[in-house]
Amino acid sequence: MKQVFEIDWVDDTTWDAFIQTSNQNNVFSQSQVIKCFDLDYKFLTVRKNGEALLGFPIIFDEYKQSTFLPYLYYQAPLFSKIIDQMVNHRRYNYIQQLTETALVALTSNFASLAFKTHPSITDMRPYLRFKTDQLVGVTIIPNYTAVVTPVETGIVELKKKYRKDRRQDLKYASSAGFEISEINDVEILLDIVSQNFLRKGVGFPDYDRTVLGNIARLSQKGGFGRIYGVKTSTGEIVAAQFVLLDSKTMHAVATGAKDEHDQGVGSMLVHHCIIEALKNNLSFDFNGANSAYLADFKHSFNAELKTYFKILWRKN
């Protein structure tokens, strides 16, 4: 049966209240984080009888174009837990119709759309079926991440499941005198992350640096972001990892290391983050495991494969 839904563009406060009702809720969908991208944004909800059942945050430029942005994951769609509690046939129909309703509204108001789905969203049929004369087509690209989940057996048993070379890395880094501590200086993080770009022969894009700095400062002040630094015995910081935390997950957002220090410090950082996450009963999400080299490294910590999707449309 065809349902009748209402479209509602809501303010930040209403949006932040809605995402608390969704199992897709994560730190990247919060309005305070979305503001860090220094672009226009709107929050769309689809309602039935006044109850918000689906939400889409849209970040866009002056041409009403939405593109993939650095350091942004899992932003849409977000379904109310009411949908998850439905019987299968009812949930299927609601998801199809809610998504179609949202897409009609979005494609009528924007020149392009680009977002990354939450790993819990596995049904791409609503996007594949959606047709409009105003669209050149839909591109759906599977992406992959690696996630370490809390285990009842504890850290020691988890470490035994690391691949042998990772365990050797940890021993080497420890014997070399490296130590990890939380640091507060965002500029140190930005300078170290820039080393990743320099090694590739390119500069750290100004926009990316600004956004990362915005998110790091906001999250540190708000208590949901941390920067871990690896120090030598002389106190020099040679590597750093920035993470964001929400109620379920610690997310790896940005990392870097000075080129001359590659003596297991990367493995040491990851292991430290996993320990900190599991201490708080959180999963640790690498937030990306797509290239062959990085995927091999991340899964060597016994991280589980998760799939998410990049979805892109544009008008004629």
Q: Which CATH number characterizes residue 56's domain?
A: 3.40.630
The long-range contacts involving 122-126, CB below 8 angstroms and separated by at least 24 positions, are: 122/307, 123/95, 124/309, 124/311, 125/96, 126/95, 126/96, 126/99, 126/100
Enter the pTM of the model: 0.94
Instruction: Write out the two tokens for 262.
Output: 């590659």
257, 184: one domain:
yes
Domain extent, residue 12, equals 6-142+309-315
Domain count along the chain: 2
Query: 75 lies in a domain?
Result: yes
Ordered per-residue pLDDT tens for the chain, 316 residues:
677 899 999 999 999 999 999 999 999 999 999 999 999 999 999 999 999 999 999 999 999 999 999 999 999 999 999 999 999 999 999 999 999 999 999 999 999 999 999 999 999 999 988 876 555 678 999 999 999 998 766 778 888 999 999 999 999 999 999 999 999 999 999 999 999 898 888 999 999 999 999 999 999 999 999 999 999 989 999 999 999 999 999 999 999 988 755 679 999 999 999 999 999 999 999 999 999 999 999 999 999 999 999 999 988 7
- 238 in a structural domain: yes
Residue 197 and residue 129 share a domain: no
- Are residues 126 and 15 both part of a single domain? yes
**Does one domain contain both 60 and 81?**
yes
Same domain, 14 and 120: yes
Q: Is residue 253 part of a domain?
A: yes
User: CB-based contacts of 235: which residues, under 8 Å, 6+ apart?
Assistant: none
286 is a domain residue: no
Query: Are both 19 and 128 inside the same structural domain?
Result: yes
Asked if 110 and 159 sit in the same domain, the reply is no
User: Could you say which DSSP state residue 62 is in?
Assistant: T
CA 26, CA 29: separation in Å to the nearest integer? 6
Say yes or no: 20 and 112 in one domain.
yes
Judge if 214 and 274 occupy the same domain: yes
- Give domain status of residue 294, yes or no: no
Query: What phi, psi does 222 have (nearest 5°)?
Result: -85, -5
Q: Let me know if residue 301 belongs to a domain.
A: no
User: Domain check: are 103 and 157 in the same one?
Assistant: no
